[in-house]
Structure 1
Amino acid sequence: MTDVGAPLPDQVRAVVDDPARLDALAALDVLDGEPDSDFERLGRTAAHIFKTEFALVTLVGKERQWFRACFGVQGLEHTATDVSFCAHTIALPGDEAMVVLDAAKDDRFADNPLVTGWPHIRFYAGAPIIIAGQKLGSVCVLSANPRDAVDPDLLTQLGDLAGLAAALFALKDEARVRARTAAALLREEWRHALTLEAGKVGSWVWDIRSGEVACNDTFRRMYELPEAGPIRVEQVLEATHPADRATVQAGITASLDDGVDYSAEARVATSGRWLTMRGRVYQRDAEGKPLIMMGASIDVTESKQSAEQTRLLLRELNHRVKNTLAMIQSVARQTIRQNPDPVAFIEAFSGRLRTISDAHVLLADRDWSGVQLYEVLASQLGPNFITNPDRAEVRGPDVMLPADHALGLGLILHELTTNAHRYGAWASDEGVVNIQWEVKAFPQRGLSLHWREHGGPPVERPQEHGLGARLIERSLAKVLDSEVKLDFPPEGVVAKVWLPLPAESG
């Protein structure tokens, strides 16, 4: 990417040069260095969501824009701030995302060397990364192909990824602060042992000639060593996880032989908890042989678990986004085949898309653990469907539905209610829909739900199933052993749904 570009507009430059923003950026201390693998995964997720060739996680400095992730670009660390699209993104009010559908037709970017030359950017979408109240950069996607529009839901997901990036920066900054704190503690004298004890830091002094280790109680508890009596260095090594002993021994050897600070991370053999260890040789004899090494150990298990949970979250988010996009694309293709007229297509597709979106909101609020059946019904019949039903007779116990069950059943109920309003029971003033279900235990635990309409216009069996009927019969395709049967007696549509349910936990 080129470093030559026209100066930024004054209002954008004012935001970029804001001292408070630059101080917050400097405090992260992450501008130099190679792209980070955690942020690379996040950028890859953004590119998959938007189907773009490139995705970046950026930090916008005064003169340089730095990249912590460069999906689709190899070996790129930074570019000039003057050519940065993300500088314009952070200048927008609030947490608003910036979208450029065709940069070649946008007066702000038409002459930008990134547009006129490689990588020939046409489409851009970026959401700001906000840390400590300051916009420091963005998660953005770029493409050499212009677009006509962007789905607002995709921009919402891009904003969520920017929030995850901010959380990752904060988490990594916390880890760096912990490391600096540990180094400072190591430089303190042994007389500060009580202070280290209060800070839950395992402190130790190793007499290298005798092999004995003097340590505080925190250190003994970390390694599950005897509460009293002398401790030898061999005992500490034996208390270290076998897979990590070579790492610990190599760090000690380098410190004793080369004079470098001892630094290692290892697990405790019995508990599996992670410790970070720092040490230094503080005394040598006249010949330079080491006599005393002092150091400290800190339990970093929670930090490692938090980082792992963040990575798992990103993988789960990527999985869910891909599944959702596949479902939306399938519904869109089938809808447009049935409704080639643009107005009819928008009306039919929007309802189905809202149903998928509503189900995703419910599932996201519950960390994808499941949704209550009453909530799925309320999304179609209204929140007062139990206390004040509108020509609907609803009977059955509430039950927790897994994520795929809730999505599939939500689409089925959407199609049935839409059909009932247009052609069925609710198309007349007297029609009623009866919805009943029960949870059966044998031969397999499952939900048996019946939808029956009566009092509406006479019903005739269609010569060919429309899209709604096909969606009803296929919406549970991902749910193993599920079944949907439709019937069309003259008095009203009947649907029978069977969903297998997980066994109840003891």
Structure 2
Amino acid sequence: MPDSVRAVIDDPIRLGALDALNMTDEPDADFARLSRTVAHIFKAEFGLVTLVGAEWQSFHGCFGAEGMTGNKTELSFCAHTLASPDDVTVVLDASTDERFKANLLVTDAPQIRFYAGAPIIIAGQRLGTLCVLSARPRDAVDPALLEQLVDLAGVAAALFALKDEARVRARTAAALLREEWRHALTLEAGKVGSWVWDVRTGEVACNDMFRRMYGLAESGPVRVDDVLEATHPADRATVRSGIEASLRDGVDYGAEARVGNSGRWLTMRGRVYQRDAEGKALIMMGASIDITESKQSADQTRLLLRELNHRVKNTLAMIQSVARQTIRQNPDPRAFIEAFSGRLRTISDAHVLLADRDWSGVQLYEVIASQLGPNFLTNPDRAEVSGSDVMLPADHALGLGLILHELTTNAMRHGAWSDDKGTVSIRWDIKTAPERGLALNWREIGGPQVSPPQEHGLGTRLIERSLAKVLDSEVKLDFTPDGVVADVWLPLPTEDN
């Protein structure tokens, strides 16, 4: 390829315009018809609609050589057409033309002899050709045929431009559709109902989420009166006053209201976006968001705070009572701190467990583990524990924890664990009749001989009174010679509750 032709083919501006077309190498039906038409006009074996790149010439319409998608630019007759200043390039016999006689398309199949091509000019750049080729040389070409070739090349250029514009529009439409879907999915995921209200007609254009929020029909027109009708009667005045203020004063509309048929809470925000020459509102746009869960969460938080205040008051009263009674039994400061600290720690541990579970209750195993250690089942230390785990309500767990603390403390000081021989058995059953409840038995065995105390100390009283707040509960404490025995009965909620 001569340097002058290569310079035209490699021109960056021309190649940039070619890339901007973003054409695929696949044949096109319109260009196929055009290549067939021009071949028939010239009575030639081949007709082509081509685009010429730096290294490859692509066939977008190909008559007579179906299945071919292009060839190397180095072999292209069309490259010379693009480099020529003329409107049309004609080669009557390529075998005698110095430019082409050594070209493989001439020396080998299909042994091209005749060629006529007109440039396809798009955006001021010569990007390809409409051409005909034949294996038979010619002596001359009718000028009228060449004029038709130039005209049809113009048609090919217009087709390329139209197809490029159509692709751009399709890509733009697809991008807009993706963006619309993205916004729609975002609104759906965020449970946001969007709406546009035509104030003059009263019609509301809205998304599907908005319709579902208000229980409106899945299709058909929606009017602002339909939305107000779907609003809870107690909240309609609030909604109306907010809308009127926005229409009248230009302030942003905002309100919280319930949906009448579901009771779900919605927060609504809107703004007037268009007014007429007199300042009357024409279009209001906005969104509605379901805030039912946050409302319920706030109510639950308030309920928990009230419950916490109640628990704190009860706990403080319990601590004060335990502190007063402990100091009466242990006037010595060291003895008081030792006795009181253990009881306070038991109350604290129980409260931590309950707080971690929002005061919903504690498993029995956890209450026992707080006194015997976390390995009481797998590696018991002179304790035999048996029974199925069960969820205890808050008051049950707190009271039972104090009972077990006093029993373990007494066993270590005076009972089965005060020497090297005694053991403690803790067994319980879940009773279902006549009512559901926990029957727990604490029994000390093999320790020092026990005799009933002359008077009940604080520990005994705490054991007997720790479940005072649990209705129908009962604690029986017995000082048998073999060791202390305690029977605890706790009513439990039914499993359905």
Distance 1:501 1:272 in 2: 34
Match 1:268 to one of 256, 259, 271: 259
Residue matched to 2:281: 290
Matched residue, 2:309: 318
Out of 327, 347, 350, the position equivalent to 1:359 is 350
> What SS class does the counterpart of residue 408 from structure 1 fall into?
helix
Q: Deviations over 1:360-388 (max 9, x none)?
A: 22222222222222222222222222233
- Asked whether the equivalents of residues 212 and 232 of structure 1 are also in contact (C-alpha less than 8 Å), the reply is yes
State whether residues 393 and 435 of structure 1, in contact with CA within 8 Å, keep that contact through their aligned partners in structure 2.
yes
* Cα separation, 2, equivalents of 1:319 and 1:366: 17
What is aligned with 1:70?
none
Deviation of the 1:479 alpha carbon: 0.8
**Residue of 318, 332, 350 corresponding to 2:323:** 332
2:339 aligns to what?
A: 348
- Offset, 1:262: 2.3
1:418 lines up with 2:405 in the alignment: no
Residue of structure 1 equivalent to 2:8: none
Distance in 1 (alpha carbons) for counterparts of 2:461 and 2:310 = 26
Whole-angstrom distance in 2 between the partners of 1:394 and 1:290: 77
Further displaced range: 302-311 or 314-323: 302-311
Match of 1:307 among 298, 314, 318: 298
**SS of residue matched to 2:480:** coil
Which protein, 1 or 2, shows the higher relative CO under an 8 Å CA cutoff with sep ≥ 6?
Answer: 1
Supply the distance in 2 between the matched residues of 1:206 and 1:257 (Cα, whole angstroms). Answer: 15
Q: Which residue of 2 aligns with 1:372?
A: 363
The residue aligned with 1:205 is 196
Deviation at 1:404, TM superposition (A): 1.0
Note the C-alpha offset of 1:195.
6.3
Q: Which amino acid aligns with 2:471?
A: L
Query: Where in structure 2 are there 5+ consecutive unaligned residues?
Result: 1-178
After TM superposition, the structure 1 = structure 2 runs for residues 41-440 of structure 1, keeping only pairs within 5 Å, are 197-200=184-187, 201-440=192-431
8 Å Cα contact 1:278-1:297 kept in structure 2: yes
Residue 149 of structure 1 corresponds to which residue in structure 2?
none
Aligned-partner Cα distance in 2 for 1:484–1:359 = 19
Question: Structure 1 length normalisation: TM-score?
Answer: 0.59
How far, CA to CA, are the matches of 2:287 and 2:332 in structure 1?
A: 72
Does 238-247 or 313-322 show the bigger shift?
Answer: 313-322
Structure 1: how far apart are the matches of 2:406 and 2:466?
10
**1:197, 1:217 within 8 Å by CA — same for their partners in 2?**
no
**Which shows bigger deviation, 208-217 or 346-355?**
208-217
Structure-2 residue corresponding to 1:460: 451
Change in 2 beyond 3 A, CA 1:287/1:193: farther
Give the superposition deviation at 1:196: 5.0
Q: 1:253 to 1:466 in 2, by over 3 A?
A: same
1:234-259 per-position Cα deviation (integer Å, ceiling 9, x unaligned)? 11111111111111111222223333
Change (3 A) 1:285 1:384: closer
Q: Counterparts of 2:193 and 2:455 in 1: how far apart (Å)?
A: 75
Matched-pair contact (CA < 8 Å) for 1:223–1:240: yes
Which has more radius of gyration?
2
Task: Write the letter of the residue equivalent to 1:357.
Answer: S
**CA-atom RMSD, angstroms?**
2.1
For the Cα contact (< 8 Å) 1:277–1:296, is it kept in 2? Answer: yes
Correspondent of 1:492 among 466, 474, 483: 483
Per-residue deviation, 1:480: 0.6
Note the alpha carbon deviations across 1:283-302, whole angstroms, 9 max, x for none. 33344333333333233333
Q: Which amino acid aligns with 2:252?
A: D
Aligned CA distance change for structure 1 residues 427 and 196 (closer, same or farther; 3 Å): same
SS in 2 for 1:447: strand
Paired AA for residue 334 in structure 1: Q
Q: 1:297 to 1:381 in 2, by over 3 A?
A: closer
| Residue 347 (structure 1) shift | 0.6
Q: CA deviation at 1:502?
A: 1.2
Distance 2:296 2:180 in 1: 28
**CA–CA distance in structure 1, aligned partners of residues 371 and 241 of structure 2:** 64
Do the aligned residues in 2 keep the contact of 1:204 with 1:219 (CA within 8 Å)?
A: yes
Structure 1 letter corresponding to 2:450 = V
Moved more, 387-396 or 351-360: 387-396
- When residues 329 and 291 of structure 1 are mapped into structure 2, their CA distance, relative to the original with a 3 A threshold, is same
Residues matched between the structures, number: 315
* 2:493 is equivalent to residue 502 of structure 1: yes
**How far has the Cα of 1:346 moved from its partner?**
0.4
Amino acid across the alignment from 2:467: L
Q: Tell me the distance in 1 between the aligned counterparts of 2:420 and 2:275.
A: 97
Whether the 8 Å CA contact 1:197–1:218 is kept in 2: the answer is: no
Supply the AA of the counterpart residue of 1:269: G
Which of 433, 436, 442 is the aligned partner of 1:442? 433
In the aligned structure 1, how far is the partner of 2:355 from the partner of 2:390? 18
Distance 1:363 1:464, change over 3 A: same
Cα distance in 2 between the residues matched to 1:307 and 1:463: 54
Q: 1:449 to 1:203 in 2, by over 3 A?
A: closer
Q: Which of structure 1's runs of 4+ aligned residues deviate more than 4 A? A: 192-196
- For residues 334 and 226 of structure 1, do their structure 2 counterparts lie closer, same or farther at Cα, with a shift above 3 Å needed? same
**1:113-155 CA distance string (max 9 Å, x none):** xxxxxxxxxxxxxxxxxxxxxxxxxxxxxxxxxxxxxxxxxxx
Judge conservation of contact 1:446–1:500 (CA < 8 Å) in 2.
yes
C-alpha displacement at 1:331, in angstroms?
0.9
Structure 2 CA distance for partners of 1:393 and 1:276, relative to 1, 3 Å: closer
Counterparts of 1:210 and 1:258, CA distance in 2: 21
